[in-house]
């Protein structure tokens, strides 16, 4: 059953944004139909549509269910990209594949700041509902690399680095049933100083396989490996 996002599971009239209204229209929902609404924080309900017009929808909420979140959590720290569209689809795909938290990371060689946070949040929300998950991943404000020491991070910590050395593959190193943090650099890669600083904070350098992956592909691939190990 399709999920439909509402900020709160309440009886009565709500005004979903355009995206969700379009979504309802595509699904050809009408009065009397039942839809599954979800707040993206683990609560859902099968609600009845009492009325529906161009701007708002009135719902009767029947019973509220709570989903317990027990799966391990992946935090992706990843540099914004010059090409905003590539960053957007990375967010969409990582969300579908169950990422827990995304921290945009401003590295020395990051070429663009992150804009349109609202738009990015909507993409994530929509991909969460579309892939039938009850928890929306957290997207934080951008973080400067020099401030990574201030984060409280749980589980295994990895930094994906393109330079050749004796790094292990992420697929061999990432453990099942454990939280993890993966750091992905900008198109020009991390600087040696950044790698050193990450190492000092317990980040282990890993390889993402034989091919040179673009930043956004590296993000999706890391998330895919985590999803594979924990699904």
Name the minimum Å distance from CB 65 to its own copies: 17
Give the H/E segment covering residue 46. strand 43-52
Tell me the two tokens of residue 228: 């594979």
Name the minimum Å distance from CB 10 to its own copies: 26
Under the criterion CB under 8 A, does residue 171 sit at the interface with its own copies?
Answer: yes
From the list 98, 141, 68, the residue with the least C-alpha distance to 230 is 98
Give the one residue of 34, 83, 131, 178 binding its own copies; rule: CB under 8 A: 131
Under the criterion CB under 8 A, does residue 98 sit at the interface with its own copies?
Answer: yes
Under the criterion CB under 8 A, does residue 70 sit at the interface with its own copies?
Answer: no
Size of the site for its own copies (CB under 8 A): 26
Under the criterion CB under 8 A, does residue 215 sit at the interface with its own copies?
Answer: no
Under the criterion CB under 8 A, does residue 209 sit at the interface with its own copies?
Answer: yes
- C-alpha span between 152 and 5 (Å, rounded): 30
Give the H/E segment covering residue 139. strand 138-139
Asked if 191 contacts 106 with a C-beta cutoff of 8 angstroms, the reply is no
- C-alpha span between 112 and 122 (Å, rounded): 20
The 5-44 contact track toward its own copies, x by CB under 8 A, reads ----------------------------------------
Phi, psi (5° rounding) for residue 51?
Answer: -155, 160
From the list 187, 80, 222, 198, the residue with the least C-alpha distance to 139 is 80
Under the criterion CB under 8 A, does residue 97 sit at the interface with its own copies?
Answer: yes
Q: Which residues make up the interface to its own copies (CB under 8 A)?
A: 89, 93, 96-98, 130-133, 169, 171, 209-214, 217, 220-221, 224-225, 227-229, 231
């Amino acid at each position: 059953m399709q999920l439909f996002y509402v900020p709160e599971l309440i009886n009565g009239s709500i005004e979903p944004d355009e995206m969700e209204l379009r979504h309802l229209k595509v699904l050809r929902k009408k009065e009397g139909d039942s839809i599954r609404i979800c707040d993206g924080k683990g609560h859902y309900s099968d609600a009845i549509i009492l009325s529906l017009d161009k701007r708002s929808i009135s719902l009767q909420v029947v019973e509220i269910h709570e989903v317990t979140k027990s799966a391990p959590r992946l935090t992706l720290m990843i540099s914004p990209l010059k090409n905003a569209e590539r960053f957007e689809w990375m967010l969409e795909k990582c969300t579908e594949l169950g990422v827990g938290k995304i921290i945009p990371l401003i590295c020395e060689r990051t070429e663009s700041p992150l804009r349109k946070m609202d738009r990015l949040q909507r993409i994530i929300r929509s991909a969460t509902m579309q892939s039938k998950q009850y928890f929306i991943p957290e997207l934080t404000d951008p973080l400067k690399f020099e401030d990574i020491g201030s984060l409280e991070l749980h589980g295994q910590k990895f930094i994906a680095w393109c330079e050749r050395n004796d790094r292990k593959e992420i697929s061999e190193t990432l453990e099942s049933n454990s939280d993890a943090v993966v750091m992905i650099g900008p198109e020009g890669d991390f600087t040696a100083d950044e790698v050193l600083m990450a190492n000092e904070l317990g980040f282990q350098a890993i390889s993402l396989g034989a091919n040179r992956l673009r930043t956004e592909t590296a993000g999706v691939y890391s998330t895919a490996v985590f999803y594979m190990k924990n699904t």
